[in-house]
Structure 1
């Protein structure tokens, strides 16, 4: 059997003070309760000798505050790359003296309802509602009336009821275009991917790219359409190279697309960046593994997680609910150069 944990009464008896005095000392209220320094030291010494730890369950029943928050996601937690958002959220929770519970639904509404109900039964103080891909969501009815911050998702409401933390994909598109423009490219610039309007990231990235090129007086040469996956990109770029002059710069909608692009260009005998510059989005581990290493616009997963929890627990969260866009920095590497 595990050893019985010391009680507050035992600490008080060893220190020679009342139970309430011991409670005030351990809660840091010795000054306002005018407890002598000698008594404070005796209580602290007794607590250390007895290895006293407060009963958090009993405290939460008294205060209605459990110092816990829950993150409910679809598949965010199990993705090794996007899981950095979990690390950011954990770090922010620890900084505020809270525990972070994590639950994953895999997009199953029944599982989601059960998870949220279980967290509510455990009296968690607040929720982060998260999505693997940036998208519009409906906040579950069970969360109404509870503190909630949306992570990597947002609602369609004209006046947001919750803070939302999302990557600034619009500015990222502008940044990708600027990498190409600042490299001296004016023509032969193609997009690679399928900028479908129903994909939030694709739509925002495309809008940012077009804005930057329009501002610079540059016209895109075209779009090589493919799925956001290496084999689809490889096949699409291979066909494009066989049917016309090679491009001078390719902007890929993500790093997996860029992997397929690299393979197609190599097979066609074209060098990167000597013949063709390549820039991408996400800055996954793949970007650093490719040779030459891939210039990519980074998804700030850690910062997203940190900011979501900070809005739940910090002063900033008391402001009017709004959409907060987290900057996506450019990671310049060896895949871009002058034409």
Structure 2
């Protein structure tokens, strides 16, 4: 068995294959501006490099630039949950487009491990850090001073920093507008989160979502038949709240759910009473998890833009736009079958 390591293709090899000087090849392959080389010469060099399988020497580039072209992603639970895989996809794709690779580490929700993992990333000479969070919360991260540019995705820190968040300030108003389009006259809200109600500053996204909902409802002509506060956002909580709502005699034209897991329980309670979303009433939710498309009828939901948030974090990091501000990413409404036609 031949285990001999394949010979690395060099600039000299590309030079010989293309008939161009090594200096010209280096300028073209390293995208040096102002080379004044012809389009034909550039295409010839790139074609030869592709045919030979040329790859830049990352170690040599790092020595010249002082950059490793590597980013570090540290998450609390993102890598081990299916809900936020889009965040990783967005980060990886945006990094690849900019010629960077990504090292990924996971704290498994153990906050005391964050400082240690950040130091490990620093020792690996990453050019910057992205801290990604499953739950959009305000944290006291106590980020160690490493000198690394750092951006938070789907979370905030007590200390000022650059953060990328979903635009929950408009999400509730978007939901109410969609309900009004169905001609609904009454609505029920199911899923205000108990912890967010008690401590709104620690739950910025949830608080903004429901503040936006309540403000939009006040400005509308919709009758709010009730608002059910839940201890958690699980199907069982959504089921119990909806069953109680129906038992109390409330029959809204529309139900707005806190998230898709709550909506799953809402669907179950409605089905027990022979009520079909999209036919007898409208049901709209938030997050657009995979279960939204598995429910029958399929659930209309306002998407958490994990992939777009991840991509924006990479762009801000690599472009050096690190002012301690929030960058809001719009949340699109994904239309399915659970809304009544007017």
Normalising by structure 2, we get a TM-score of 0.83
Contact 1:233 1:257 in 2 (8 A): yes
The 10-residue stretch of structure 1 (141-150 or 206-215) with the greater mean CA deviation from structure 2 = 141-150
User: 5 Å matches for 1:327-338?
Assistant: 327-337=330-340
Post-superposition Cα deviations, 1:143-162, rounded to whole Å, max 9, x if no partner, equal 552211111112345xx4x3
Q: Does 1:282 align with 2:287?
A: yes
User: 5 Å matches for 1:253-292?
Assistant: 253-292=258-297
User: 5 Å matches for 1:232-311?
Assistant: 232-311=237-316
Determine which of 209, 228, 234 is the counterpart of 1:205.
Answer: 209
Normalising by structure 1, we get a TM-score of 0.84
Compared CA separation, residues 20 and 235, structure 1 to 2 (3 A)? same
Contact 1:14 1:46 in 2 (8 A): no
Q: Does 1:221 align with 2:206?
A: no
Post-superposition Cα deviations, 1:281-336, rounded to whole Å, max 9, x if no partner, equal 1111211121221111111111111111111113xx43744211111111222212
Contact 1:89 1:305 in 2 (8 A): yes
Q: What is the aligned-residue RMSD (CA, Å)?
A: 3.4
Q: Does 1:64 align with 2:86?
A: no
Q: For structure 1, list consecutive stretches of 5 or more residues without a partner in the other structure.
A: none
Deviation at 1:273, TM superposition (A): 3.1
- The DSSP-based 3-state class of the residue aligned with 2:79 is coil
The 10-residue stretch of structure 1 (198-207 or 229-238) with the greater mean CA deviation from structure 2 = 198-207
- Paired with 1:185 and 1:46, the residues of 2 have a C-alpha distance of 64
Matched residue, 1:173? 172
Q: Does 1:79 align with 2:84?
A: no
- The DSSP-based 3-state class of the residue aligned with 1:106 is coil
Post-superposition Cα deviations, 1:7-59, rounded to whole Å, max 9, x if no partner, equal 86975997999988876675455975x9999x999998997898664432243
Compared CA separation, residues 269 and 203, structure 1 to 2 (3 A)? same
Post-superposition Cα deviations, 1:228-278, rounded to whole Å, max 9, x if no partner, equal 111122122212212223232211101111111111111112232333221
Deviation at 1:210, TM superposition (A): 1.0
Compared CA separation, residues 279 and 51, structure 1 to 2 (3 A)? closer
- Paired with 2:227 and 2:274, the residues of 1 have a C-alpha distance of 21
Contact 1:11 1:22 in 2 (8 A): no
Contact 1:272 1:336 in 2 (8 A): yes
